[in-house]
Amino acid sequence: MPMYTGGQVLDLETAVKDGILGGGGGGGVICDDVTTPNLGKLDLKKMIEQLDSIEVPSVFICPISLEPMQDPVTLCTGQTYERSNILKWLSLGHFTCPTTMQELWDDSLTPNSTLNHLIHTWFSQKYLAMKKRSQDVQGRSLELLEVLKTVKGQTRVNTLKELRKMVTTHESARKTVAENGGVSFVSSLLGPFTSHSVGSEAIAILVNLQLNSDSITNLLQPTKISLMVDVLNEGSLETKIDCVKLMGILFAASDIVPSLSLLVGVLRLVKDKRHPHGILAGLRLLKIISTQESLGNSIISIGGVPQLVEMLPHFNSESLELCLYVLKVLSSIPHGALALKNCSNLIPNLVKLLMKTSENCTKFALSILLEVCKLSPEESAATAVNAGLAAKLLLVIQSGCNPELKQLSSELLKLCSQNCRASIFISKCKLTRTLQ
């Protein structure tokens, strides 16, 4: 159908192809028989769904729902809407045109076949282009996987890099790789003699793929884990984050004991104030492995406790909650509580955090405080009260929060009051008779 745009006669194909209607995200790829009946059979609804992230030309959008129109109808005012939407509008008793606000002199709805045709064509083209691209991606990833089986050295590294890029951007690539033994093959590249470049790329690929329990067991072999720890310790920030993510997946499914080198590496990540993403990723891993019994002693032996405590004021809220969780777990073992108590800035840091962020943070902080104070009641209580704990505790008790928190607070309050001279205590929290 010829269209007139600025004096130029365009046919439908050209109009859609050159993006005259606007709308990006398409390819220059055009199927030859765009207007054949076959494509009409492609369910428009399905295509729209699959192309949901694409930028749709504004003229295709229904002004009422802001969604692409599948059955456009025009009112007497000349405005076009999706049939079901305008019918609903009219059934609600309105007798106006929603966009122009004009009163309707005619209630007929004329199907806008021109627009319908255009919409179908446009979506079909975009859909076919997407399908082809996806096939390209699938084909290419399969190709890369085959190539990987034969090459070595720098070529291997480059191939892995390209595969990694595909896997991180395309769902279809991920599927293809997973379905063609990609997981076990890439895992087999990890070993005691794997170079850093190969290791970091392989890990970056694996972290994007679905791992079944066999793959996980395979990856949990000590030599492979050792390699991951090495890559973690030597890699760039992105590589470090990939490593901890992968290890998180692996360790969640097993009760492997994390090595000291691993913990040192994770701690280093967590302490790096320049990169909050790294901190968060590291803390997530710490939380996952905090269920491990021996973790506590390991972290303490590498001096991790004071380092974590020192970082408390620098964490954002999500990281803070994770860190406090880990510290809470540590506080429940005797060595842990001791190590915590020995951190001079633990109590002031914790008191400051109470009621500042989430309820969980306050809950964990209170648990830690309780354990530490139980260990050395007089000393810790004094420090705590000096840091303004009592007032905070009252705040918790009086607030409308979880009964668990209130329980913790009153326990702590009791402990403090038993170990502090009453006068100091009262003056520190400006109490009134409500205490009694």
Partner 1 sequence: MLDTVVQNMGLLCCRQKRGNQATTEENDKAAEIERRIEQETKAEKHIRKLLLLGAGESGKSTIFKQIKLLFQTGFDERELQSYTSVIHANVYQTIKILHDGAKELALSEAGSSKYELSVDNKEIGDKLSEIGGRLDYPRLTEELVQDILKLWRDPAIQETYARGNELQVPDCADYFMENLQRLSEENYIPTKEDVLHARVRTTGVVEIQFSPVGENKKSGEVYRLYDVGGQRNERRKWIHLFDGVTAVIFCAAISEYDQTLFEDENKNRIMETKELFEWVLKQKCFEKTSFMLFLNKFDIFEKKVAKVPLNVCEWFKDYQPVSTGKQEVEHAYEFVKKKFEELYYQNVTCDHQDRVFKIYRTTALDQKLVKKTFKLVDETLRRRNLFEAGLL
Residue with Cβ nearer partner 1 (222 or 313): 222
Stretch that binds partner 1, among 74-82, 137-145, 158-166, 253-261 (CB under 8 A): 253-261
Burial class, 49, CB count within 10 angstroms (exposed 0-12 / middle 13-18 / buried 19+): exposed
Residue with Cβ nearer partner 1 (312 or 382): 312
Stretch that binds partner 1, among 13-21, 35-43, 259-267, 322-330 (CB under 8 A): 259-267
Residue with Cβ nearer partner 1 (300 or 393): 300
Least CB distance to partner 1 at residue 260 (A): 5
Residue with Cβ nearer partner 1 (154 or 423): 154
Does 264 participate in binding partner 1 (rule CB under 8 A)?
yes
Does 44 participate in binding partner 1 (rule CB under 8 A)?
no
Number of H helices and number of E strands within the chain?
A: 24, 5
Residue with Cβ nearer partner 1 (3 or 338): 338
Residues 198-217 interacting with partner 1 (rule: CB under 8 A): none
Residue with Cβ nearer partner 1 (229 or 405): 229
Least CB distance to partner 1 at residue 344 (A): 16
Stretch that binds partner 1, among 7-15, 140-148, 228-236, 313-321 (CB under 8 A): 228-236
Does 292 participate in binding partner 1 (rule CB under 8 A)?
no
What are the backbone dihedrals phi and psi of residue 47, each rounded to the nearest 5 degrees, phi first?
A: -65, -45
Residue 324: helix, strand or coil by DSSP? helix
Q: Which of 18, 55, 146, 234 binds partner 1 (CB under 8 A)?
A: 234
Q: Which amino acid is at 168?
A: T
Q: What is the rounded CA–CA span in Å between residue 368 and residue 365?
A: 5
Least CB distance to partner 1 at residue 397 (A): 39
Residues 96-155 interacting with partner 1 (rule: CB under 8 A): 153-154
Query: At 238, which helix (H) or strand (E)?
Result: helix 237-252
Residue 366 contacts residue 327 (beta carbons within 8 Å): no
Residue partners of 340: CB distance under 8 A and separation at least 6? 305, 309, 327, 330, 331, 346, 368, 371, 372
Least CB distance to partner 1 at residue 328 (A): 24
Cα radius of gyration rounded to whole Å, the chain: 32
Q: Which amino acid is at 326?
A: V
Does 38 participate in binding partner 1 (rule CB under 8 A)?
no
Query: At 338, which helix (H) or strand (E)?
Result: helix 334-341
Stretch that binds partner 1, among 62-70, 72-80, 123-131, 226-234 (CB under 8 A): 226-234
Query: Between 293 and 332, how does the x/- string for binding to partner 1 read (CB under 8 A)?
Result: --------xxx---x-------------------------
| CA–CA–CA angle 319, 325, 329 (5° rounding) | 145
Residues 335-394 interacting with partner 1 (rule: CB under 8 A): none
Least CB distance to partner 1 at residue 231 (A): 11
Least CB distance to partner 1 at residue 340 (A): 17
Residue 309 contacts residue 343 (beta carbons within 8 Å): yes
The bridge status of strand 8-10 relative to strand 110-111 is unpaired
The conformational region for residue 303 under phi > 0 = left, psi -120 to 50 = alpha, else beta, is left
Residue partners of 406: CB distance under 8 A and separation at least 6? 396, 397
Residue with Cβ nearer partner 1 (233 or 358): 233
Residue with Cβ nearer partner 1 (270 or 365): 270
* Structure-block tokens of residue 301: 């032996």
Does 261 participate in binding partner 1 (rule CB under 8 A)?
yes
Residues facing residue 121 across a β-bridge: none
Q: Which of 193, 423, 430, 434 binds partner 1 (CB under 8 A)?
A: 193
Least CB distance to partner 1 at residue 345 (A): 16
Query: At 8, which helix (H) or strand (E)?
Result: strand 8-10
Length of the chain in residues, anyone?
A: 436
**Residues near partner 1 (CB under 8 A):** 153-154, 192-193, 195-196, 222, 226, 230, 233-234, 236, 259-261, 264, 268, 301-303, 307
